[in-house]
Amino acid sequence: MSTSASVGISDLSFATTHYALDHAVLAERLGVDRDKFYIGIGQERMSVAAADEDIVTIAAAAAKPIIDRHGVDGIRTVLFATETGVDQSKAAALYLHSLIGLPNAARVVELKQACYGGTAGLQFAAGLIARDPSHKVLVIAADIAKYEIDTPGEPTQGAAAVAMLVTADPSIIALDPQSGLYSADIMDFWRPNYRTEAIVDGKTSVNAYQKAAEEAWNDYRRQGGRDLGDFAAFCYHQPFTKMAYKAHKHLLESQGRTAEPEAIEAAIGKTTTYNRTVGNSYTASLYLGLLALLDQAEDLTDKVLAFVSYGSGAVAEFFSGTVVSGYTEHLRTEANRAAIDSRELLDYDHYRQLHEAQAPVDGKYHATVSETSRPYRLAAISGHKRIYESV
């Protein structure tokens, strides 16, 4: 296996919303057994944004612990991956300056390609650091997944942000240089500018995901990537956790492997626990799976992990990395679990009220109801400007 300068992830931090909806509540409303969601799609709860939360507030909450631990020295680039941006022109990451103290001497941009955007940010960061190993890149993946009420997509909503500090000589994951790619123009999931909810063709999307994962793997092998048996675990993008199981089964069978349920569970089971209760977080989903694995697995030192990133439309990437010795000293396991456990459970009426709320468009001053207990909130929208504050 050829090697190059070690580049990868030195810190990971996660945040989610103030509220959560139990799928049992949704099941009761729809008149179905809760196991249709708990077992059928592998989802038990989903995070729901409070009236004063958006991708900026949860991204800031995810990024601040990294800034607090490492400072801003050397951070020359900030990449914010999202498909639920708050502005068609201004990068969401620029709002973070006043909230968490990002450096002025940095390039700050927003990236978009459905759920793949976080991986684009990670790979772009690795390339920048390979050019100048003294630089650090802050990559943030944050999204709020929203679908129309009473549609098949509704149970797969969710919200979360994952922030990653990408550096040379990483402390958690050292990325392999090989990467497998696949792109195709597919209308499986999209959200036109005039809509607040995404449109999804569920069957097409599942099939597109599986084909993309297989093709990205084939390209990874053509680039000199590792053997399928080299990986200790597989981290997949999880629009719903059952999708990870489907994708891994398909990948194994496409390579002539026997897809035994026990082997699949061993390969991906621990990666699904956070996503099962947070729901779909689009760009953050894959990396929330990584966090769940690192927080739960026995010692992964020197173990090789596989990453399968998919973004509808569609772009996929298969890449890999090795867990670095001493990685557990850099994890935030207690904070990650607290972020999930501290959410306030919603009743259906409150959830529906939040779901149907519309952003003002008249340019007047609109104060936002104070709800969140998280570190940052959207305080108001005034003159078409978003005003944020610390809680």
pLDDT in tens, 252-262: 999 999 999 99
Statement: residue 185 has pLDDT above 50: yes
Q: What is the pairing mode between strands 304-311 and 315-323?
A: antiparallel
Q: What is the mean pLDDT of residues 371-384?
A: 98
pLDDT band at 329 (very low <50, low <70, confident <90, very high): very high
Which token pair is 168? 């040379």
Return the exposure string of 216-234: e unless at least 16 CB atoms fall within 10 Å of the residue's CB, then b: bbbbbbeeebbebeebbbb
Nearest to 195 by CA among 359, 19, 363, 381: 359
Q: Does 280 appear as a known binding residue?
A: yes
Q: Does 385 appear as a known binding residue?
A: no
DSSP sequence for 229-248: GG-SEEEE--SSHHHHHHHH
Determine the distance from the C-alpha atom of residue 170 to the mean position of all C-alpha atoms in its chain, rounded to a whole number. Answer: 20
Domain 7-390 annotated CATH 3.40.47.10: yes
Which token pair is 245? 């199981």
Q: What are phi and psi of 13, to 5 degrees?
A: -140, 145
pLDDT attached to residue 1: 40
pLDDT in tens, 336-366: 999 999 999 999 999 999 999 999 999 999 9
Residue-range domain boundaries for the chain: 7-390
Q: What is the mean pLDDT of residues 77-83?
A: 98
pLDDT attached to residue 5: 73
Q: Does 33 appear as a known binding residue?
A: yes
pLDDT in tens, 11-50: 999 999 999 999 999 999 999 999 999 999 999 999 999 9
CB burial class (10 A; 0-12, 13-18, 19+) of residue 303? middle
Statement: residue 137 has pLDDT above 50: yes
Nearest to 359 by CA among 390, 384, 387: 384
Q: Does 303 appear as a known binding residue?
A: no
* Distance between CA atoms of residues 281 and 339, nearest Å: 14
Catalytic residues: 83, 115, 237
